[in-house]
Amino acid sequence: MSSIDQLFTKLRDEGRKALMPFITAGDPDLDFTEQLLRELDRRGCHLCELGIPYSDPIADGPVIQASYTRALGRGRRLAQILETVERVTPKVQAPLVTMVSYAIVYRHGLARYVDKARAAGVAGAIVPDLPVEEAGELAKICRDADFSLIQLVTPTTPRERAVRIAETSSGFLYYVSVAGITGERTELPPELVENVGWLREQTTLPLCVGFGISRPKHVKMLAPVADGIIVGSAIVRQIADAECRSRDAVLDGVGQYVSQLLTALK
């Protein structure tokens, strides 16, 4: 089993759910990214998502888009990011997955990307712009390498297509809570719990919910039906303050925030 499979098996046996923060690699720089990953792990987060900056992200809202722009403007590239990951993964317990555009994976070569990511200690990849019709080759490469390929199902995905996406995914299935782009929201759709419940009947994969989740009440709402809760924009927004506040203060602020979410998850 991959490290992600092992994580969710352990959590399921213990009756617990995963908190899964998202951060952007290289925002504001890779040294801070390394410190932040270690802080998130120290606070008890179960899995971390690391966004690979890309100039044309498919579903990211203004907060994450701005973080990608900042990182790219400072010359952050995949090779540097993987060097940082290789340094930090031996120091943390939480598996690390990349959120990466298929264009980046394709440009590097599917098998080559997976090999380089695995060598750095990455456990899997979320590929938001990979159509299910084109997922077969990458899915096979990932299966053979024990590297999780995580794909997205949205509220507007036709149900037959959602089942096909689940069949080519591994590690966990990423359920997008709201139609549209990432970003903090005050309320989540009332039909969200029902939609996740239906999807659970279609797959044995763990189901993790993201987009719009930012408050402890969101976590409490989803904990009974989801295996994992993904929080991104609310964290990335705090990191944007790293240039005008002390880095220790930003690290502590993010750490306290995820601790509140972890408490709500219990």
Domains by residue range for the chain, with CATH: 3-265 (3.20.20.70)
DSSP strands (E only) in the chain: 18-24, 48-51, 96-99, 124-126, 148-150, 152-153, 173-176, 207-210, 228-231
Cβ within 8 Å of residue 166, ≥6 positions away: 153, 173, 199, 202, 203, 205
d(CA 56, CA 68): 9
Which pLDDT score, from 0 to 100, does residue 185 have?
43
Which pLDDT score, from 0 to 100, does residue 42 have?
97
Give the rounded distance of the alpha carbon of 266 from its chain centre.
20
Asked if 232 contacts 21 with a C-beta cutoff of 8 angstroms, the reply is yes
Q: Which sign, positive or negative, has the C-alpha torsion 155, 157, 161, 167? A: negative
Q: Which residues are catalytic?
A: 49, 60
Which pLDDT score, from 0 to 100, does residue 184 have?
42
Burial (0-12, 13-18, 19+ Cβ within 10 Å), 189: middle
End-to-end alpha-carbon separation of the chain, Å?
26
> In sequence order, what DSSP letters do the residues of 61-116 get, joined into one string?
-HHHHHHHHHHHHTT--HHHHHHHHHHHGGG-SS-EEEE--HHHHHHH-HHHHHHH
Which pLDDT score, from 0 to 100, does residue 64 have?
87
Main-chain dihedrals φ then ψ at residue 19, nearest 5 degrees: -100, 130
Helices (H), 121-158: 136-145
C-alpha R_g of the chain:
17
Which pLDDT score, from 0 to 100, does residue 74 have?
86
User: Going residue by residue through the chain (266 aa), what tens digit of pLDDT does each one get?
Assistant: 789 999 999 999 999 999 999 999 999 999 999 999 999 999 999 999 999 998 876 656 778 889 999 999 888 889 999 999 999 999 999 999 999 999 999 999 999 999 999 999 999 999 999 999 999 999 999 999 999 999 999 888 999 999 999 999 999 999 987 654 444 444 555 678 888 888 999 999 999 998 878 889 889 888 888 999 999 888 999 988 777 788 899 999 999 999 999 999 98
Whole-angstrom CA distances from 138 to 112, 144, 162, 224 are: 11, 10, 18, 32
Share of the chain residues as helix, strand and coil, in percent rounded to the nearest 5: 50, 15, 35
d(CA 83, CA 81): 5
Closest CA to 224 of 4, 16, 20, 14: 16
Cβ within 8 Å of residue 24, ≥6 positions away: 33, 50, 51, 53, 64, 67, 68, 70, 71, 236, 239
- pTM metric for this prediction: 0.91
